[in-house]
Amino acid sequence: MKLILALLFFILPINSGLAQERSLEDVIEEVNTSVLSVTVDTEAGEQALGAGFIIGADGYIVTNAHVVDDAKSIRAETIYGDEYQVKLVGVDKKTDIALLKAEHPLGLEPVHFADSDNVRLGQAVFAIGNPYGLGNSVSGGIISAKERNIEKGAYDNFLQTDAAINQGNSGGPLFNMNGEVVGVNTAIFSEQGENMGLGFATPSNMVQWVVEQLKANGTVERGWIGISVRPVQTKGEDKALQLAITEIAENSPAAEINLKVGDIIERLSNISLQNPRIFSAEIAATKPQTKLDAVVRRDDKLLKFQIEVAPMPQEDKTDKNREIAPWQKFEDYGPDKDKPVNSTEFEQLGISAYYDDIAQDFVITSLKADADMAQKGVIAGNRIIAADNKKIYGVEDFQTKLKQAAEKGQLELKIKSEQNIDTVTVKLENIK
């Protein structure tokens, strides 16, 4: 079955703090007034329909960034049928969150946020949104998973729910049974855009952090230290997971304190070393000028550093001296350079790569200079996350997919770099 990522807004032609002991019906009746239908007239002459919710008596409204993309004008409608013009305060495309503000206070009760870190698997939740432009609709379910990475962006950390979510639900809240917002409904996995029981919500803690910055500045400033990492397993009885530095940006905070590719991060203040994605997200959420205490292992020696977090360079305004340096082969560095990652050579592609069991993808460790992938801009350190639109489940599965693609002589690979996810069609070499 081929699944596609569907954003939850609906395009039409332009002419077309509650007490836990309360009943669910009472809770829904009260919070339903805080949820709005959002209508966007775009510059392209289309109409986008989504949802949003009130977070303050002063008229601030949260929705998804993709709902208001290319907006010419934005209107918000209450369940009572009152419609208001709203202005765009700011967007953060990296988390798909947008902040709107009504020209006048709406006189409606704002929502209350829950601590999304305390959400548990199996916890009952309900969603309110504007599916297919029908107006406020309620659906119920549970939290199916946490910390989901659906390859939508660098900071994927979604709550997954089986509550029915459809196109038009974008920007609507996901509530716990106390009527507190645990997330913002953002995306679904679907064949044709219909609900299949796989909905994804941005956690409330991330939403609040983004909204606070959008309120203050209209933009989001993220922390940056200028490194990329991959997981390694330490030797010894505990075999704990740690992170190895695979890339250091020139003139970055990490470069300035002389961190090296191959260093094993043992500790970085209170930043999680659980996996590279969470590590990067927590660095990004750290306020610039914060000083972090680092302990790294280099050549079996423990070294201590203090690193000052800098503002993340803007993608479209990055100074040339601060651009990310090319990925270097991890095998050439660090204490394990003589026994590097257990890479597999895939001759058909002209690459070597190892399978990351945690992320369930392949990390490219080296490429032939004349390989088709290298000619198309793929470099060591990039990740192969899908082949012919299918997830890869280990070395044998990848080799099977290569054999299946041999007859047509090419393979479509989804490649993840530090900044983007791109689809690359590569020629397969004839290997006898």
The catalytic residue positions are: 66, 96, 170
What is the rounded CA–CA span in Å between residue 17 and residue 110?
Answer: 10
User: Residue 67: which of 53, 55, 50 has the closest Cα?
Assistant: 50
Contact at 8 Å (CB) between 85 and 72?
no
User: Residue 429: which of 321, 349, 331 has the closest Cα?
Assistant: 349
Q: Give the three-state DSSP class for 205.
A: helix
- Token look-up 């004349």 returns 370
User: Residue 351: which of 322, 325, 380 has the closest Cα?
Assistant: 380
What is the rounded CA–CA span in Å between residue 403 and residue 221?
Answer: 46
User: Residue 379: which of 246, 242, 231 has the closest Cα?
Assistant: 246
H or E stretch at 203: strand 199-203
Alpha-carbon distances of 11 from 14, 15, 44, 193, 376, rounded to whole Å: 9, 12, 11, 12, 34
Contact at 8 Å (CB) between 63 and 50?
yes
What's at 326, amino acid-wise?
P
What is the rounded CA–CA span in Å between residue 124 and residue 146?
Answer: 14
Beta-carbon neighbour count of residue 145 at 10 Å? 13
Q: Give the three-state DSSP class for 329.
A: coil
